[in-house]
Amino acid sequence: MLRTTLGILAGVILAALALYGAQYGYAYFHPSPPGTAPGTPEAVASFITNGRPGDVLNYVNTAPTEALSSLLAGWALAALLGGWLGAAIAKPHRGSTATLIGALLTVLVIVYGMLIPGPPWVTVLGLLLPMPFALLGGRLAMPRREF
C-alpha cells in the first residue's frame, strides 16, 4: 500500500512538472500582452478590478495553433510520464496507479476548460488524451514477462 501511495504521489508530481513545462511552451508561442505578468498576484488583482471578462477569452481564443498544440502535448506528456513513474514505483498495483493519474489529469482538463474556455477542439482532445497516455505509460513500466 505504501508503494502504491508513493507511486501515485511521485507520478502526480512528475505530471505537474511536465504541465509546468508545457505552460512555458504555450507562453513562448503566445506571449502575454506587453506590461502584464500573468503569474503574479498583482496582475490577477489588477485584472479583477480593471479588466473586462472578455479580455481573458480574447487572449485564449487568439492563441495560435502552435501554442494550443504545446498545451495538448503537455497534457499527453504529463499523462505518459506520470503513469510511467507511478506504475514503476507501485509494483503491486501498476494499472490502477496509472489509471488514477490519468483520471486526475482528465479532471484537471475539465477544470481548465471550465475556468478558461478556449476553442472546443482543445477541450475535446484534452479530454481524450490523458487516459490512454497514462495507461500507455503504465504499460511501458511493466517488465516484458508481465505482459
40 Cα distance to chain centroid? 20
- For residue 51, the tally of other CB atoms under 10 A from its CB is 13
What integer pLDDT is reported at residue 85 of this predicted model? 94
Fill in the DSSP letter of residue 144: G
What integer pLDDT is reported at residue 95 of this predicted model? 87
Closest-CA residue to 86 (of 131, 127, 128, 134): 134
Cα gap 112→72, rounded to integer Å: 12
What integer pLDDT is reported at residue 13 of this predicted model? 95
CB 75 within 8 A of CB 105: yes
What integer pLDDT is reported at residue 63 of this predicted model? 78
What are the extents of the domains in the chain? 2-146
CB 53 within 8 A of CB 104: no
pTM for this entry: 0.81
Q: Which amino acid is at 47?
A: F
Residues of the chain with pLDDT under 70: 32-60, 146-147
CB 122 within 8 A of CB 74: no
